Structure 1
Amino acid sequence: MFGQLLLWVRRNSRKALALALAPGLVALAFDSAVSHWAGKDFDNRWQAIPVVYGVVGFILLTAMCIPKSRTVFSWTARLVGGAGVLVGVVGTYIHATAFFKELGGDYSAANLEGALSVAPPLLAPLSFVGVGALLALLPSAKLLFRLRVGVAPVAQGAGGALHHLEEGQERARAVRKSA
């Protein structure tokens, strides 16, 4: 069974990477929920956007890996990724606005320290931008990567790792020439 999973990962590396990123969206949603609501009143409904995005994005990423259609995968990944970038950029703007409002024009060290401790975390929403950008770029044909799962360990002895690396490069050249 584990061999079948590894074979699926090799054949569907983009979907496997999307499935690896999906729990990150739930973690971001949980972190946002704790940051926005733990011990605070729910007075601003905009604070629910990163939480809802994380949960919905997780569900969509997980569901898009089931059909065999690459078109469904590509458009869903771009949609979820683009929404993540948007959520992150808008969140960074909102947090930066609150930070500069807290500063009130006084940029002394003591006031900066106080503003950093009271204002919302300045760069935390950029994590949504990072995950969203990865998801948006994932279906791109210009992005080339391979997941090598289940590769035999490097042989020790004559040549060691360098010999193994040279053999891998020769095989890659042969594959490119035959294609």
Structure 2
Amino acid sequence: MFGRLLSWARRHSRQALALLFAPGLLALAFDAAIAHWAGKDFDNRVQAVPVVYGVVGFVLMVAVCIPRSRTVFAWTARIVGAAGVLIGLVGTVLHAVKLWQELEGMYSISSVEGAFSVAPPLLAPLGFAGLGALLFFLPSARLLLRLRVGSPISSGEGSLKHLASGEVSVSERRDRRSA
């Protein structure tokens, strides 16, 4: 069973990575839900956007990794990724506006400290933007991905392990010199 899973991950590297990134969407949605609603009134419906995006993005990414259609996977990953970047950047701007309003034109150390303790976290929405960028660029043909699953390469050989016949690897040269 585990061998079949590793074999699938080797053949479908991009989908395997998407399945590793997808729980991050749920984690960000959970974090946003706690930050936006824990002990607070639900007065701003825009705060639901990152929560809904995280859950829907997770479901979509898991769903498109199962079938064999690379086109559906690529388009879905790009749409979910672009939406994540957009949500992250807009969220950062909204958090910056709230911080600016909390400062009220006073820029002393104590007022900046107080504003940061009351205002929403300034850079937290960039987690959505980062994960969205990863998902957006994941299906790109220009991105070379090579997953090595299984036994590690023996030390000293690195990428020279697969040499053409007649060529000598670094470790073989060391062995010849020491003999």
Settle same-fold status: TM greater than 0.5.
Answer: yes
Corresponding letter in the other structure for 1:137: F
* Match status 1:74 vs 2:74: yes
What is the rounded CA distance, in whole Å, between the counterparts of 2:65 and 2:138 in structure 1?
Answer: 13
Instruction: Name the counterpart of 1:135.
Output: 135
What's the TM-score, normalizing by structure 1?
0.89
Match for residue 167 of structure 1 among 160, 166, 172: 160
Instruction: Name the counterpart of 1:16.
Output: 16
Note the C-alpha offset of 1:153.
5.1
What is the rounded CA distance, in whole Å, between the counterparts of 2:61 and 2:128 in structure 1?
Answer: 15
User: 2:163 is paired with a residue of what secondary structure?
Assistant: helix
Corresponding letter in the other structure for 1:34: I
- Residues 52-102 of structure 1 show CA distances to partners (whole Å, capped at 9, x for unaligned) of 000000000000011111100000000000000011011000000000111
Q: Which runs of 5+ in 1 are unaligned?
A: 155-160, 175-179
Q: Which runs of 5+ in 2 are unaligned?
A: 168-179
Could you list the runs of 4 or more consecutive aligned residues of structure 1 that deviate by over 4 angstroms after TM superposition? Answer: none
Aligned residues: 165
Structure exhibiting the larger radius of gyration computed from Cα positions: 2
What is the rounded CA distance, in whole Å, between the counterparts of 1:6 and 1:17 in structure 2?
Answer: 12
What is the rounded CA distance, in whole Å, between the counterparts of 1:75 and 1:167 in structure 2?
Answer: 36
Instruction: Name the counterpart of 1:31.
Output: 31
What is the rounded CA distance, in whole Å, between the counterparts of 2:153 and 2:86 in structure 1?
Answer: 42
Corresponding letter in the other structure for 1:114: G
What's the TM-score, normalizing by structure 2?
0.89
Note the C-alpha offset of 1:152.
3.8
Q: In percent, how many aligned pairs have the same letter?
A: 64
Q: CA RMSD in A?
A: 1.4
What is the rounded CA distance, in whole Å, between the counterparts of 2:58 and 2:158 in structure 1?
Answer: 37
* Match status 1:113 vs 2:113: yes
Corresponding letter in the other structure for 1:6: L
